[in-house]
Structure 1
């Protein structure tokens, strides 16, 4: 395995470690900070669109599979443009969602700790990968815009499916096993 292939697998790995923090803490965080969330004047309150950890976990699983497939396809075809766009998008997510969320909410927001830890690592990955792949400004711009657009589409689609996820989970729990 060459160096770029090994680096490429960091995308789904870092994503999952980051999202494990969110999955583990979002329920208890909501309980602890519900009063602050209710009193907050924020336009978009952190994790307000997820009704349960179960629903959130389904979305995380789908994104993990997508990122793993993007990584695998990038390695197979030795073309890292889409992969590069997604590592950029996740790095930007650390800033736009978690750093901004903590600054506006003035309290811990799930995902913030791994965002602090991974932001410099991701920036370094982007730096060395840019040099390794010899990406020029056009490659970088197209990859980042494409990654952000596709990432936004995936996020919006999963958000619209949230109620469907909840209904499927409820349906599964209600259907009894016949003997």
Structure 2
């Protein structure tokens, strides 16, 4: 059961990297993204706002942590496996 704690930890390591690197990457590639995906201009602009992206990550972290705690307390891995598959895809 100890491996259950790794999902929130690995998720946050991955998301910290995105929070740090995404604004710089978007600044370099924004014009190309607008050209290739003009219908997603609003989404690209909202991603460049780091606090909004960080709040999205926080919401996902809360869901993953709740599933992990619930799975450990109830000794039922169904919710944890659902989170693992959803975020793995």
TM-score of the pair, normalised by structure 2: 0.84
Total equivalences in the alignment: 87
* RMSD, aligned CA: 1.9
Between structure 1 and structure 2, the one with the greater Rg is 1
Q: Distance in 1 between matches of 2:40 and 2:8?
A: 26
- Structure 2 unmatched runs, 5+: none
Q: Distance in 1 between matches of 2:31 and 2:48?
A: 17
State the match for 2:19 in structure 1.
Answer: 23
State the match for 2:55 in structure 1.
Answer: 58
Q: Distance in 2 between matches of 1:67 and 1:42?
A: 32
- Structure 1 unmatched runs, 5+: 93-179
State the match for 1:139 in structure 2.
Answer: none
- Does residue 32 (structure 1) correspond to residue 28 (structure 2)? The answer is yes
Given candidates 1, 13, 22, the residue that maps to 2:9 is: 13
Compare the two structures and name the one with the higher helix fraction. Answer: 2
Over 3 Å counting, the alpha-carbon distance change for 1:57 and 1:40 in structure 2 is: same
TM-score of the pair, normalised by structure 1: 0.44
Q: Distance in 2 between matches of 1:58 and 1:13?
A: 17
1:38 deviates by 1.9
8 A contact 2:19–2:54 mirrored in 1:
yes
8 A contact 2:22–2:48 mirrored in 1:
no
Q: Structure 1 stretches (4+) deviating beyond 3 angstroms? A: 41-45
1:42-92, CA deviations, whole angstroms, 9 ceiling, x for partnerless residues? 7657x6243511011011112212211211111011001011011011111
Q: How do 1:1-179 residues align onto structure 2 when only pairs under 5 Å count?
A: 4=1, 6-41=2-37, 48=44, 49-92=46-89
